[in-house]
Homo-oligomer: A and B are copies of this chain.
Amino acid sequence: MFGKLLNFSSMAHFRKDPFGPAWVIISPERGLEASDFGSVRHHDSTCPLCPGSEASSREIRALRPSASPTNSPDWRLRVIENPAALLYPKNFEQQGVELFKQAPSSGYQEIIIEHPQHQMLLDNMPLEHLVDLLKLYRDRLEHLSEQPDVKHVQITRNVGAVAGAVYEHPHAQVLALPVSNRWVNEELNAAQSYFDKHGSCLFCDVIQAEINGRERIISYNQSFIALAPYASKTPFETWILPRQHGGAFSLQASNTLPLLAELLQALLRAMNAALDYPPYNMIFHSLPVNDNKNYHWHIEILPRLTKQAGFDWGSGFYINPTAPEDAVRFLRATLALQEVGA
C-alpha cells in the first residue's frame, strides 16, 4: 500500500535546511517500501565485493600485478563506484528561493574494498597491506578533493550492520560532497577561536596536555597518538591524531604511514578484545588538500555500544556512561596482555 501511493518520480537532489547550516540529500528514487526501511543488503549467496564479482561493478582503481587487465580477480585493493550512488559529477548550481534552496546531487561516491578476503579485518591484515590501504585512502581523498565543486571528502568505515554497514566484506565508503561537513565545521570554528586567542593549534595543545597528563592516552609512537577525548560523547570513543600539525590527511608523509598502521592495528585489536568485536564507525576528519584553515586532521573511532537514547537522538545532548579515563585504563590493560601474549 505504501509503495503504491507514493510517487518517486523525482531525482535525488540537495536541499538546504533553512533552520540550520545543513544540506540534506532527498533521494526519492530509492522508492523503498515501508518494510524496507532500515534493511541491510544481504548477500547470502555471493558477495559483490569478493574476487570473481568484478564485472558487477565499475572499477575506478585497483592494485594488482601490472600485467593483469582491469576487472581480473587478482587485485589486492580495489576502488569501485558505489553501486547505490546518489551523487554524480555535476555542477553544484543552487536554485530556488531563500527559504527553499536546492541543488543537483553533485559529488562522487566510491567504495574501497580493503582486502580480497571476505572475513579479513583491519586488525589482522599484514601490516604492509594496511599501509597500502592507508595510502589508497589518502590518494582518493587527495584526488577527489581536487575535483570541481567538491568542498569535503569523507571516508567512513562502518563495521557491523548496527553501525550502518551495507556490506559484510571489509570496505570503506568515500563521499565527495559539494558542501562542508557539520562536525568538521564545529571543530574548525573551535580551532579558529582558539588560534585567535592563543596563536597556536587547539589540537596540538590538547595533544601536548594529554601527553603531560597521560590519563587519556591509549598508546602513541613517534608520529601518532591514540587517545580518548576528554568530553567523549560515547563509551570508548577514540581519536588517532598525527603528532605533527597538519590539516589534511592527504599531505601526510608516506614514511609515517607504517606508524599509523601499527597504532591503528594495536588499537582495533585491543578494542575488539575488550569489547568483543563491537560494531563501530571510523571516520576521517580532514580538510581538502590546499585548504589552509586552522585544523588538525584525525581519525575518530566510535564503537556503538549504547542505543542512542532520547538524550542524544533528536535532543542534541549526550550522556556517556563510561568515563574516558576508565575506557583508557581498560584498553591499556588489554594492550599490555596482547604484548605479553605476543
> Which A residues have a C-beta under 8 Å from some C-beta of B?
2, 5-8, 10, 15-28, 30-32, 34, 37-38, 40, 86, 99-100, 154, 156, 158, 161-166, 173, 175, 177, 181-184, 186-187, 189-191, 194, 202-203, 205-206, 209, 229-233, 235, 274-276, 281, 283, 300, 302, 304-311, 313-324, 326, 329-330, 333
Residues of B within 8 A of A307 (CB): 38, 40, 161-162, 164
Given contacts A183-B315, A276-B34, contact A27 B100 (CB under 8 A): no
A206 touches B314 (CB 8 A): no
- Verify A154–B190 contact, CB threshold 8 A: no
The CA of A40 and the CA of B310, in the complex, are separated in Å by 12
Question: Are A164 and B310 CB-contacts (below 8 A) given A6-B329, A329-B6?
Answer: yes
Number of identical protomers: 2
Min CB–CB distance A287 → chain B (angstroms): 15
Q: Are A164 and B309 in contact (CB under 8 A)?
A: yes
List of B residues within 8 angstroms of A232 by Cβ: 24, 26
Evaluate contact between A183 and B316: CB separation under 8 angstroms: yes
Q: Is the CB of A321 within 8 A of B28?
A: yes
Between-chain CB contacts (< 8 Å), 14 pairs = A2-B330, A6-B330, A19-B190, A19-B191, A24-B233, A24-B318, A24-B319, A99-B202, A156-B311, A158-B309, A183-B315, A281-B314, A283-B314, A300-B314
Name the contact of A318 in the complex, choosing from B25, B31, B32 (C-beta under 8 A). B25
Residues of chain B lying within 8 A (CB to CB) of residue A162? 307
Q: Which 10 A-B pairs have the closest CB atoms?
A: A182-B316, A164-B309, A37-B305, A20-B186, A17-B231, A158-B310, A28-B323, A15-B231, A183-B316, A30-B321
